[in-house]
Structure formats: C-alpha cells, structure tokens
Amino acid sequence: MCDCNCHKKKSKHPYFLYFILIVLLCIFIVSCAQITAPTGGARDTTPPKITLSNPSNHSINFQQKEIYIAFDEWIQPLTNPKNQVIISPEITPFPDIHIARNDLHIKFKDTLLSNTTYSLYFADNIKDNNEGNPYSNFKYVFSTGNFIDSLQLKGQIATSLEKFPDNTYLLLYKDLDDSAFLKKRPFYITKVGTDGHFNLENVKEGTYKIYALDDKNSNYYYDLPTEAIAFLDSAKHINSSIDILHLNLFLPEENKLRIQSFDREIKNGIWHLSFNKELSLNKDEITVRLINDKTIEPIAFTDKDQHNMSVYFPSLPKDTANIKLVVANNGNLIDTIRTNISTTKINNIIPFFSDSTLNKGLKAIESDALVLESSVYSLSSIDTSKIYIEDTTHNKIPFSIKRLENLRDYQLTANWKPNMLYKLTFLDSSMQDLAKNYNVQQEFSFLTIANNKTGNLLITFELPSKNENYIAILKDNSGKVWNKQILRDSQRIQINYGRLLPGNYSVEVIEDANKNGIWNSGNYILKTEPEKIFKSQPIIIKENWDADEIINVDFIRNTIISNNQIIKKPNSKGPPKDILDK
C-alpha cells in the first residue's frame, strides 16, 4: 500500500510544473504586448512663426481683396473673430477671417477707404494648435495710400473702481456728435492694459472725440448702465503724437432717482426700500403715503447706508392685501408701489440691536460715552428702570442714557473705571420704536480703555477754495467711518476729533461740487465728471500722544504735507517712552 501511494504522488508532480511554466509564459507574453505612451521630451513652448505674408505687413497702396498669412505650424481656429480681432478704423461689413491648418485668410467684402491706414490687432489670439502658445500682440498694418499713418496716442486711465476692468478700450470718433458714443462703433480703437496704460498707433491727423469704455457686451459703444466710461469733454485735434493723455474711468450714475427694491410686505409696521443711488440729506426729501387710507401718516428715514430707507407706520389695520403706497421726492412722484400688510399683533417684541458686527468687541474710552447703534428708529421715552450696567463685581453703577439726533444711536455716560469689563443689559420693553414695537432683552459686554492708552487727533485742513463745499471723512484702517463733516466758508478749517484708539487712520476729502452732502459719480448726458476725492497718507495715532496734522487738500497732486511740516506735540500727560528716548 505504501509503495502504491508514493507512486501516485510522484506521477502528479510533472503536470504541476507544466502548469506553472505555462502561466509564467502567458504573463511574459502579455507584458511584452502592452503599449505605453512615450515619456517624450520637454514641452513645446515656442510660439508659431510667420513664414509667408501676402501682401507683406506694413504694405502701402494696398488694393487687394484678401490677405494670406502662413505659419510654420498648425494654429487654432478663431472662435469669434469679431471679438478676437480689433480692426481700426472699423471695416464694415466685418471681413471674413478664418484659419485652416497653418493658414490665416482675411477676405474683405467691400471697398476700403482711400488713403487710410488700417490695423488688424489679433492680441494673443493666434496660438499653435498643440500647446496653445500665443503669437503675442500680433498686429497687421497696411495703407490704401502711399504712406503709413504714424501718429500715436499714449497715456493712462485712472479709476476709482475697486479693480480696473479687463475689457476696457480707448475709442476715437471722427463723428463729433455726442450720440455717436451711444450708437456707433468708433473710428479707432485699441485695448487698454489692466494697469490702465494704452498706446494707440497709426492714427491719422484729424479732430476726434476721445473715450474709454468698459465694454460689457463687446459692441464697442456705450449702451449699458453697468459699463464704466471715461471721456474728454471736448473734441481734440491731433496733428502730432501725444505721450501723456489722462482719462478717469468711472461708473456713471443715473440722473433719475428710482426705487431699486422694496419689501413685498409691511411687517411689524416697518417697510424697507432701496434706491438706485445715494440720497442727499439736504437735497432729497422722500415722503410715503397710503392711497387707501389718508389717516395713516408714514414716517420715512434715510438709513446710514444712504441708498436705503426705513418707513414706519405708527398705526395699521389688520392684515390687508394689495395696498398702494405713493413714494415721492420733494413732492415729485417716484413710483406707486403695491404691497401687503402682514401684522395682526400690536407691540411685537423685536431686537433693537440686531447688527452683531456693530456691537461686537465694544470698547469705551475712560472719559467718553459709550455709543450703541440701534437697527430701528425711536422717539418714545426710555424706561431706565429696565436698563442696568454691572461691573466685574456685579455692582450696578449709575449712568445716564440719551437718544442721539439721528433717532437710532444711544449714548451711555458713566464714571467708567479704566481697564474694567462691564455688562450692559436691556430688559424687555425698556424701549419702543416708532411703530410701537418693544425691544427684546439683550446683553452686551464692553471694556473701558484708559485715557493714557489713547491719542488725540487735531487736523487743520487747507482747502483749495473757501467758496466751495467739501466733505471730510475720517476712517480707520478697516474702512470704518468715525467722523463725517461738511467743510465750507473758509480755506483753513480745524477739526478736533478727540480721543481715538491707537492705530492707523486716514482722511478722504470730497469736492462737493453740487453741495448736496454726498459723493456723486459722473453722468455722460450731463457731461459731468465724478466729484474729486483727495486721500491722505496714513495718520498714526499712538498712546498718550497728541497728533496735530496739517493736510493740504490738493486734488491734482493728492498729497499730504510732508512729515517735517506736520506738527506733533505731547499731551499734558507726557509723551510715550519711545519718544523720550529719542
């Protein structure tokens, strides 16, 4: 039995080896059959090159109907030639421009102007087919006369916009009618760089209207309210090259005041609406009335964001659908609005201080009042028995509170202790707004800063004219407005801004040309430029230090008087140690 079993095991062994060999052979064959992509060499970074041009670039006495340009490699087709190729002056109808393999063809559909220099600017839109390497700033120039026009316009466009628009062009019109900019394409056009610089070449001597346009819809004329523009207010005769030409790009404001948005319901007796431009506190007087019920007299307030208004209804009927509100400015109708009344309750409980960003991280200076900004307007008496302030030992401290003239802000005065953390509590129903809504309980913590940890700021403004109005705005480094005042009737005005927390501040001065108390952008129809803005250099406020600044407001140079002319003096408590060490 033993010999028989051993024989059987030995007889299976060769077959097992054969099986292993066959598997290994199959794996080898499969691995040899696999095809992998070659690793290749370095990536192609070479742009295409022109090998042939017929007629050649910068030809004169041009009479052809077609331009043929060959490149040394295949190039990508143009997806939208009308937007990718700038032809100056304009050719109508637009030529047929197409690319096939490595050939660029330009076919003209009509006769060109005589004795005219044309330029076809392809920017970076000629690219090789494989890697997309651009033939940068390619321009083809020719003349139907016996010379190439050579005048140039160079310059820079400034802007008060947050970012210079990418799709901005410099436009020259031979048609001097103001309506041409609104309806027609320009005679000459060139792209403006994202840094605002431009260079328009091959211009013919003549008289032109000059504009710049942030062209949103790529039709090369101004027809959208969202398009920023710049213009010279009169035609300019060009008989020699210009190296320095300055324009100011701005987003025009609408001439007519209109309602931009509004609440679809009057909730809790309050209705909000916004306008297409900022409201002037001394020129605009917005009124709202109900057509259906003349016994109700709404009260309208311009909010701190002067595009917005809050309207209060002291007494309203129960829920009502489809009421009509008439909104007017100085008695002139703006619009009639249909809305609904959504309130069946009286004396709703609402938060007065709903803006957490305004009332977060509150600080009070030792000798100054604490100011809280409310989200609602009020004229009612304040129930001080429902308001209290506690220090860190939970002792209630005496204080006084008053509502400021804007009917939204509250000033709390007390004998603050420096470097002390306080808790302020408003209990339910301690105040009510104009629609008789009561406040909900709210608590705030705030820290008091010692006087010697602050600095005092005194600014002397030297203004261009005593016969003009100016608006002076003090901002901190975050852009928060700390003070806004009208300057008038003198060329030298001093403002003591009092104690400020240490940090960097700056001043903006607006030339209030129309004396309406707000900054106004320009308007093409009225031919007005944006009101000029002067921005100072940073003003540094240090602890226990009086900063006495002299600011020469110069809208042309926009500079602040140099440091050696700025007077600084220590306050009565002495300068900081770092100053004494000097």
Find the CATH number of the domain harbouring 198: 2.60.40.1120
Asked whether residue 160 falls in the same domain as residue 235, the answer is yes
In this structure, is residue 355 part of a structural domain? yes
Q: Do the Cβ atoms of 428 and 396 come closer than 8 Å?
A: no
In this structure, is residue 32 part of a structural domain? no
Asked whether residue 62 falls in the same domain as residue 135, the answer is yes
Asked whether residue 335 falls in the same domain as residue 376, the answer is no
Which of 103, 126, 143 corresponds to the end of one domain?
Answer: 143
Tokens of 397: 């401290």
CA distances from 334 to 260, 312, 317 (A): 11, 19, 25
Going by C-alpha positions, the residue among 456, 483, 450, 452 that lies closest to residue 363 is 450
Report pLDDT for 322.
76
103-107 and 96-100 beta bridge pairing: antiparallel
Asked whether residue 577 falls in the same domain as residue 474, the answer is yes
Handedness of CA 365, 366, 368, 374 (dihedral sign): positive
Higher model confidence: residue 535 or residue 21?
535
Handedness of CA 490, 496, 501, 502 (dihedral sign): positive
Going by C-alpha positions, the residue among 259, 306, 293, 268 that lies closest to residue 439 is 268
In this structure, is residue 24 part of a structural domain? no
In this structure, is residue 540 part of a structural domain? yes
Say yes or no to pLDDT of 323 above 90: no
Per mean pLDDT, which range of 37-51, 72-86, 245-259 is the poorest?
A: 37-51
Asked whether residue 468 falls in the same domain as residue 432, the answer is no
Which of 342, 376, 396 corresponds to the end of one domain?
Answer: 342
The per-residue pLDDT for range 328-350, each reduced to its tens digit, is 999 999 999 998 887 655 568 88
Task: Give the mean pLDDT of 485-495.
Answer: 96
Query: CA-CA distance, 59 to 148, in Å (whole number)?
Result: 8
Going by C-alpha positions, the residue among 72, 249, 254 that lies closest to residue 160 is 249
| Residue whose entry in the numeric block shows the structure tokens 């421009």 | 97
CATH of the domain at 439: 2.60.40.3710
Asked whether residue 468 falls in the same domain as residue 574, the answer is yes
Report pLDDT for 347.
65
Asked whether residue 135 falls in the same domain as residue 165, the answer is no
Average pLDDT, the chain: 87
Report pLDDT for 123.
84
As a whole-number percent, the residues of the chain with pLDDT over 90 amount to: 71
Element (H, E) at 158: strand 151-159
Report pLDDT for 137.
84
- Number of domains forming the structure of the chain: 5
The per-residue pLDDT for range 351-381, each reduced to its tens digit, is 898 876 666 778 999 999 999 999 999 999 9
In this structure, is residue 376 part of a structural domain? yes
In this structure, is residue 541 part of a structural domain? yes
Report pLDDT for 59.
96
* CB atoms near residue 537 (< 10 Å): 17
The per-residue pLDDT for range 167-198, each reduced to its tens digit, is 899 999 999 999 999 999 999 999 999 999 99
Report residue 415's pLDDT band, with 50, 70 and 90 as the boundaries: very high
Report DSSP state, residue 530: P
Say yes or no to pLDDT of 146 above 50: yes
The per-residue pLDDT for range 544-559, each reduced to its tens digit, is 999 999 999 998 865 4
Report pLDDT for 341.
81
66-71 and 539-541 beta bridge pairing: unpaired
* CB atoms near residue 500 (< 10 Å): 19
Domain coverage including residue 157:
151-249
Asked whether residue 301 falls in the same domain as residue 403, the answer is no
CATH of the domain at 281: 2.60.40.10
Report pLDDT for 31.
52
Asked whether residue 461 falls in the same domain as residue 565, the answer is yes
Going by C-alpha positions, the residue among 251, 260, 265, 298 that lies closest to residue 279 is 260
In this structure, is residue 33 part of a structural domain? no
Report pLDDT for 162.
87
Task: Give the mean pLDDT of 417-426.
Answer: 95
Report pLDDT for 229.
97
CA triple 437-443-446, angle to 5 deg? 130
Q: Which residues of 101-140 are buried (b: 16+ CB within 10 A; e: fewer)?
A: ebebebebeeebeeebbbbbbbeebbbbbeeebbbeebbb
Element (H, E) at 105: strand 103-107
Say yes or no to pLDDT of 33 above 70: no
Say yes or no to pLDDT of 2 above 80: no
Say yes or no to pLDDT of 582 above 50: no
Give the distance from CA 567 to its chain's centroid: 35
Task: Give the mean pLDDT of 73-100.
Answer: 92
Report residue 61's pLDDT band, with 50, 70 and 90 as the boundaries: very high
Report pLDDT for 349.
87
Say yes or no to pLDDT of 46 above 70: yes
Strand residue runs (E) in 205-361:
206-214, 229-231, 236-238, 242-249, 259-262, 265-267, 270-275, 286-290, 299-302, 308-312, 320-329, 332-342, 349-350
In this structure, is residue 43 part of a structural domain? no
Report pLDDT for 17.
59
